[in-house]
Chains A and B, each alone.
Chain A
Amino acid sequence: DTAVSQTPKYLVTQMGNDKSIKCEQNLGHDTMYWYKQDSKKFLKIMFSYNNKELIINETVPNRFSPKSPDKAHLNLHINSLELGDSAVYFCASSQGPSGGANRQFFGPGTRLTVL
């Protein structure tokens, strides 16, 4: 019955590798997000899709590329991983992108460690 799920939960990889994180929501929401939480627990928005359309694209390296095959899924692909990419990545979803519709529900997070 998980509302927002992410896979994998943990990801340990070498510098220079390419990896993907997958997110799925079964809440019937239109909007999905990727956040990065650093070691000091600061949460920052990376991307957001509304009805499969990219609406937020923060200043992140272009090694990060989101893909939304449908409204229920939002994946994050990372090329040429660097040490500084180590963090916890959270997926979230909301009914809509703004105001009262933008009450966000988070997945369990994916802890990425780059060696």
Chain B
Amino acid sequence: GIQVEQSPPDLILQEGANSTLRCNFSDSVNNLQWFHQNPWGQLINLFYIPSGTKQNGRLSATTVATERYSLLYISSSQTTDSGVYFCAVESNDYKLSFGAGTTVTVRA
């Protein structure tokens, strides 16, 4: 099956800092999504982004499908951005395969 690698595994930020999370995948995909799991366990869908760039407030994402990676940018981080960020991809088999996640801690 398709392999999904996320880096870094952990990230500690000071409030107001910017950061970039990376997702590499091993095969071509027709679906890539970013999720945020907050400290209470809720999984929120941030982006559906199989290619190109999207922005949603302080978050933006870019996927370069031909090079098999996606980046999630967090700007002016806030404590509410803390949690685990997951990248998930689908490669023509209906199954969404998740990476191991990046745990982000934003300190006030």
- Are the CB atoms of A90 and B43 closer together than 8 Å? yes
Interface bin, chain A: 20 to 34
Residues of B near A90 (CB, < 8 A) are: 43
Cα A58 to Cα B92 in complex, Å, equals 15
- Are the CB atoms of B95 and A45 closer together than 8 Å? yes
Cα A45 to Cα B90 in complex, Å, equals 12
Segment at the A interface, from B12-20, B29-37, B56-64, B68-76: B29-37
Q: Which secondary structure characterizes the binding site on chain B? A: strand
Chain B residues close to A by CB (< 8 Å): 30-31, 33, 35, 37, 41-45, 48, 50, 84, 86, 88, 90, 92, 94-98, 100-101
Cα A100 to Cα B33 in complex, Å, equals 10
Chain A residues close to B by CB (< 8 Å): 33, 40-45, 48, 55-56, 58, 88, 90, 92, 97-100, 102-106, 108-109, 111
Residues of A near B95 (CB, < 8 A) are: 45, 48, 56, 58
- Are the CB atoms of B43 and A106 closer together than 8 Å? yes
